[in-house]
Structure 1
Amino acid sequence: MDDDARDTASQTPAYAPETGPSVRVNQHGYEPGSPKRATLVSETDDAVSWELREYSGEVVAQGATTVLGVDETAGLHVHAIDFTDVDDEGTYSIEAEGEASYSFVIREGLFAPLMVDALNYFYLARSGIEIEATIVGDEYAREPGHISRPGGDDVNQGDFAVACQPAAESEKVYGEPWTGDYTLDVLGGWYDAGDHGKYVVNGGIAVAQLLGVWERAMRAGRGAQKALADGTLHIPEHGDGVPDVLNEARWELDFLVSMMVPKGEELAGMVHHKVHDHGWTAIPILPVDDPKPRLLHRPSTAATLNLAAVAAQGARLWEAYDSVYAAGLLDAATTAWRTALEHPDLFAPVEDGRNGGGPYDDDDVTDEFYWAAAELFLTTGEAEYAEYVTTSPVHTADSFPVGGFSWDQLDGIAKIQLATVDSDFADRAAVADQVIAGAQAIAGVQRRQAFGQALPPDGYVWGSNSQILNNIVVLGAGYDLSGDEELLAAARESMDYLLGRNALGLSYITGYGAVFVKNQHSRWFAHQVDRALPRPPVGSVAGGPNANTPTWDETISGLYPDKDCAPQLAYVDDIQSWSTNEITINWNSALAAAAAFLAFPEARVKL
């Protein structure tokens, strides 16, 4: 590089993201009776005046900001604006220091449509089925992915008869050779994220949250049930009298059952950890055009227990609609439980994540055992499962980290189920107290955040937005159990962050807000690189800021080459930023569960 080039490079300004108006608001809107707050970015140390203006320009409220100082998660000096007392429906903006916020509404019913859109994501993520234009429109219609039969002339070899990893390859990742001489028909299920992989442990939490949306709706009343009934979602299974959310969950449940090792094999009854391409594919590529061979990866205890838990839950909920199907699910659940007890330490290693799919490594499955036992007890009422739950070290442990639960820490979901699902579980009240205490701790964190989110300063990990959403789920369960209005308020205000009240002034949910994400990491929602392909659908939540710099991708690293930015700024809406901008089934299931609570908050539990 010559001297002139060096001078030019040294003068290149550091990356500064577009952040919109200095007044950050929930761009989607606020419901009457909810907290209504905004965050002003301002360097002044003195309170400044603000005005809330109706669409006509009329000033309907005014006041002075509360100076909060520097928010280290945003790297910004901020003030708080509180207009909670305004409940009149209308379209508004807030003006301070001569600058107006994006417009927003105050009105009822803001979250039921978001719940439905979040759930509609899953049909578009289905593998092994045509996505029909008559259901989703021409833009999102596509040919079925991974259905071609092995030996055919098609590029894609399909999931009809997938072989196990070769022993030579598995030895490299497991430290010992493993394979099987069988193939499995694992057609169906949901594509996990931006690639074409299907992972049992991520599918487990996702399907559990969809089943949980319906289980809570049964308690919430007719309004919630009507919103999820047959005919409400964009899926082909209409007219059978089954709630659409259960039919969508079934698409994944059937796939999870298909991942079981067949009878007569060494690990019969265990569940393969994942199935995905042998080698990474590039962006963009439709599922039908995927040229890579597919492989089953070694069974794991975690995957087996995920199946045991969700199949037991599914059996309970499907009993009213298809008793034969429910019985089959329960048989799969009990088989998986027994085999997991026989193989309690078959773990998926991090090394098995370098050739076409993520590892989803987990070497602590005490929480999965607890979760599976809890769901089996709630479905069967059998004493052996209750005994396992009460004697587990998890039973009295803190299961509600303020940073949020995830696919690899599932005891929080188990305890929410034990506390909220009707049963004669002897320790139900004590578990309910744990859920309430966990929710109150999360609410305490939420109250201290300048942008209102239920996430501590060290919580900006990969998928941080899903951590907030899962914390909203805990807040919702705590409210269901206690009626504590502060928990409901914390859940409502946490959604402000996801819908635009954040350091970037950006809604992280596609189609919601004035400025929202459009280019999440995906191989087929890839409009950014191929104009013939669609953007992610309305209701898709991006992973969000990721301050864990060792996991950064090249795109975000190129923007911050010194790895130096405030946690909330560690995000870019670019299709290549897989570490900040991916979409996944378990993040959208968390969005659906959180939105379902906010749409129908009255589902009190009587202990």
Structure 2
Amino acid sequence: MKTRILLFTALTGAILSAGCISKKAYDQMVPGENIRLNQLGYLPGSVKKAVIISSLSDKFRIIDSAEREVFSGYLQDKGVWEPAKDTVKIADFSSFDKPGKYRLYVEDAGISYPFEIGNGIYDDVFRASVKAYYMQRVSTAIEEKYAGKFTHPMAHPDTLCWFHSSSGRQVGSMSSPRGWYDAGDYNKYIVNAGYTVSMLLNLHEYFPDLISDDLNIPESGNGVSDLLDEIKWELDWAETMQDKDGGVFFKLTSKRFSGFIRPQEDTLPRYVVGKSTTSALNFAAMFAQASRISKEIDPDLSERYLAAAKKAWSWAVKNPSVIFRNPPDISTGAYSHTDFSGDFFWAAAELFVTTGDKEYKEYIKSHPVDFTFISGENWWTSVKHLGYYALILPECKIDESEKAEYKNAILADADRLLADLEASPYRQPLNSFVWGSNSDILDLAVIFATAFRISNDRKYLDAATETTDYIFGKNAVGYSFVTGFGSKPAMNPHFRLSATDGIDEPIPGWVVGGPNSHL
């Protein structure tokens, strides 16, 4: 250890007064763990900040790939970040915009991981993140021509799924193929589908031309965005989960989690389990949204989706407080909560934007305007903000004064969250970490981005950028939380497909759960 420290000291001492590092020293430098930044890089014109911990230095330098100093500045002392007890300084190089590849140097912290300044820094990770859903498909072989080395044969055809008694059926089975595997296991959950599908559909509604028809999935080349093709795979499964009375079964699952085995090796019987107000409202919301997006592509499909959404809504109105709890013989994900007001608001908003019907508007108007973000596994416990995103769409037929009220609620909470970011030494808007905390972080980035779209105020764009920086390495553990991207990417995620495939690196493009202070 002493030898390594002495070597590191000798190498970092190679900074010359002229602002250059010798090529040998530069090539041999091991990135210091005390510099945390976006390991992919920064967009020209964007805010560019890095966190330096445990440093007594007062200055930082930006070094290019030719070992030349191209920028320097003074570190800003931000005090102690209590969750990690880190003493934090900030390097701000926002004014440096020259495209290229660089590292950041601090005398007693060493050299950073390389990063790039350029317009294309997110292109590859964006495509990989969308393509990752293909890798997660159920009831199909994942083929080499689409997935490279991350292949597996057909698994979980789900053509024979038994009704659990909690479904309301005592005997029998049904076919329920397709969909995506859940994050860590081989089961399928309506509440997880609802949030995910809605966020992906939001991306298409805001930026319909962003994802083309060339992601190299089986549907590529059919004239429809590959994002919509991929979402339909999930909707094809979810549609099978609606019962004849309009209610929606909660999940399709084995009675217990499988071991960490390959998907084709999991032969546990699969069961259709439970119904709940939550699953009905998640279903209603995502299918109402899918209906309006499908209208120009496939009018018949759009009508079918809308009819299903209305039936699910009607069931929830008649059954407004059906709480899902795992039956005694089921131990897979429960995702249960008891306050359905946000679920009703979201479903009503999506149905109103799609139909303009008075019934849904009346429910929306009866709900107090309160956008307040609630952290902590909020993708299933607090979904009302998805309704706000729907109500501020241009096609939403409400009075502009009402729409302004919803927009102002979003801006007010964005300001509260921005104050949290400004107060944090790490410049992050979240300081509590539960299971899946990166979901909270990315939801906050979406709130900031939405606030920018509403107001065109640069402060919100900067906040969204810095929150994204957290995901790619500007965090207290120094990892890029997206598999396959960054110099120090997350490895060994709780993810059966990757844990069992015999390949060292995980499937690229997935965001791992993130820090959890409760473990």
Is the shorter-chain TM-score for this pair beyond 0.5, marking a shared fold?
Answer: yes
1:76 is matched with which residue?
A: 86
Matched AA of 2:225:
P
Matched AA of 1:185:
S
Q: Which of 96, 99, 102 pairs up with 1:89?
A: 99
d(CA) in 2 for partners of 1:307, 1:189: 14
Task: Note if 1:537 corresponds to 2:507.
Answer: yes
Task: Note if 1:230 corresponds to 2:200.
Answer: no
d(CA) in 2 for partners of 1:39, 1:214: 34
Task: Note if 1:109 corresponds to 2:120.
Answer: yes
d(CA) in 1 for partners of 2:363, 2:485: 44
Q: Which of 189, 207, 217 pairs up with 2:197?
A: 207
Helix, strand or coil: the match of 2:46? coil
Note closer, same or farther for the CA distance 1:421–1:303 as it changes in structure 2 (3 Å cut). Answer: farther
Task: Note if 1:197 corresponds to 2:187.
Answer: yes
1:275 is matched with which residue?
A: 252
1:30 is matched with which residue?
A: 42
Helix, strand or coil: the match of 1:525? helix
1:523 is matched with which residue?
A: 496
| 1:356, distance to aligned residue in structure 2 (A) | 4.5
Note closer, same or farther for the CA distance 1:366–1:307 as it changes in structure 2 (3 Å cut). Answer: same
Matched AA of 1:425:
I
Task: Note if 1:125 corresponds to 2:136.
Answer: yes
- Structure 2 counterparts to residues 316-355 of structure 1, below 5 A: 316-349=292-325, 351-352=326-327, 355=330
| 1:79, distance to aligned residue in structure 2 (A) | 1.0
Residue deviations 1:68-100 (CA, integer Å, cap 9, x gap): 221112221111111111000111111112411
Residue deviations 1:513-554 (CA, integer Å, cap 9, x gap): 111112111222116xx63x4642221111010112xxx3xx
Structure having greater relative contact order (Cα 8 Å, sep ≥ 6): 1
| 1:179, distance to aligned residue in structure 2 (A) | 4.0
What is the alpha-carbon root mean square deviation over aligned residues?
A: 2.0
Q: Which segments of 5 or more consecutive residues in structure 1 lack a partner in the other structure?
A: 1-17, 148-158, 171-176, 219-224, 263-267, 553-607
Task: Note if 1:447 corresponds to 2:422.
Answer: yes
Matched AA of 2:204:
W
- Structure 2 counterparts to residues 106-505 of structure 1, below 5 A: 106-137=117-148, 139-147=149-157, 159-166=158-165, 170=166, 179-218=169-208, 225=209, 227-231=210-214, 233-262=215-244, 268-283=245-260, 285-349=261-325, 351-352=326-327, 355-392=330-367, 395-401=368-374, 405-426=378-399, 427-455=402-430, 457=431, 459-505=432-478
d(CA) in 2 for partners of 1:326, 1:69: 55
Contact persistence 1:50–1:64 (CA under 8 A): yes
Residue deviations 1:118-153 (CA, integer Å, cap 9, x gap): 11111111111121211111x112112111xxxxxx
Helix, strand or coil: the match of 2:498? coil
| 1:402, distance to aligned residue in structure 2 (A) | 6.4
d(CA) in 1 for partners of 2:377, 2:356: 29
Helix, strand or coil: the match of 1:396? coil
d(CA) in 1 for partners of 2:101, 2:406: 43
Please, what TM-score do these two structures have when normalized by structure 2? 0.90
| 1:412, distance to aligned residue in structure 2 (A) | 0.5
Please, what TM-score do these two structures have when normalized by structure 1? 0.77
| 1:111, distance to aligned residue in structure 2 (A) | 2.3
d(CA) in 1 for partners of 2:170, 2:239: 18
Matched AA of 1:378:
V
d(CA) in 1 for partners of 2:428, 2:226: 31
d(CA) in 2 for partners of 1:352, 1:143: 32
| 1:400, distance to aligned residue in structure 2 (A) | 2.4
Matched AA of 1:362:
H
Note closer, same or farther for the CA distance 1:411–1:421 as it changes in structure 2 (3 Å cut). Answer: farther
d(CA) in 2 for partners of 1:96, 1:20: 9
Note closer, same or farther for the CA distance 1:454–1:421 as it changes in structure 2 (3 Å cut). Answer: farther
Contact persistence 2:390–2:396 (CA under 8 A): no
Note closer, same or farther for the CA distance 1:163–1:101 as it changes in structure 2 (3 Å cut). Answer: same
Corresponding pairs, count? 487
d(CA) in 1 for partners of 2:329, 2:94: 50
d(CA) in 1 for partners of 2:140, 2:171: 27
| 1:448, distance to aligned residue in structure 2 (A) | 2.0
Q: Which segments of 5 or more consecutive residues in structure 2 lack a partner in the other structure?
A: 1-29
Note closer, same or farther for the CA distance 1:399–1:257 as it changes in structure 2 (3 Å cut). Answer: farther
Helix, strand or coil: the match of 1:140? coil
| 1:162, distance to aligned residue in structure 2 (A) | 1.4
Matched AA of 2:139:
G
Note closer, same or farther for the CA distance 1:404–1:360 as it changes in structure 2 (3 Å cut). Answer: closer
Contact persistence 1:313–1:379 (CA under 8 A): yes
Contact persistence 1:117–1:539 (CA under 8 A): yes
Matched AA of 1:161:
L
| 1:184, distance to aligned residue in structure 2 (A) | 2.1
Helix, strand or coil: the match of 1:193? coil
d(CA) in 1 for partners of 2:66, 2:346: 53
Contact persistence 2:370–2:409 (CA under 8 A): no
Contact persistence 2:155–2:264 (CA under 8 A): yes
Matched AA of 2:163:
C
Residue deviations 1:326-370 (CA, integer Å, cap 9, x gap): 111011001111111111111112x45984511011111111111
Contact persistence 1:454–1:472 (CA under 8 A): no
d(CA) in 1 for partners of 2:291, 2:82: 47
| 1:417, distance to aligned residue in structure 2 (A) | 1.4
Note closer, same or farther for the CA distance 1:321–1:534 as it changes in structure 2 (3 Å cut). Answer: farther
d(CA) in 1 for partners of 2:444, 2:47: 17
Matched AA of 1:429:
A
Helix, strand or coil: the match of 1:406? helix
Contact persistence 1:416–1:435 (CA under 8 A): no
Helix, strand or coil: the match of 1:120? helix
Contact persistence 1:405–1:412 (CA under 8 A): no
Contact persistence 1:40–1:80 (CA under 8 A): yes
d(CA) in 1 for partners of 2:480, 2:104: 17
